Amino acid sequence: MDNPGIEVHPIETVGEHATNSVFFTDVKVPKKNIVGKENEGWTYAKYLLTSFLLE
pLDDT tens figures, 37-51: 988 989 998 998 887
Q: Is the pTM of this model over 0.85?
A: no
Q: What is the DSSP letter of 38?
A: T
d(CA 20, CA 24): 13
Give the count of beta carbons closer than 10 Å to the beta carbon of residue 48.
Answer: 10
Could you report the per-residue pLDDT of 17-37, keeping only the tens digit for each? 888 999 999 988 888 988 899
Mean pLDDT of all residues in 5-25: 90
d(CA 5, CA 24): 6
CA angle centred on 50, ends 45 and 53, rounded to 5°:
125
- The beta strand positions in the chain, using DSSP E, are 6-10, 20-24
Going by pLDDT thresholds of 50, 70 and 90, the confidence category of residue 55 is low
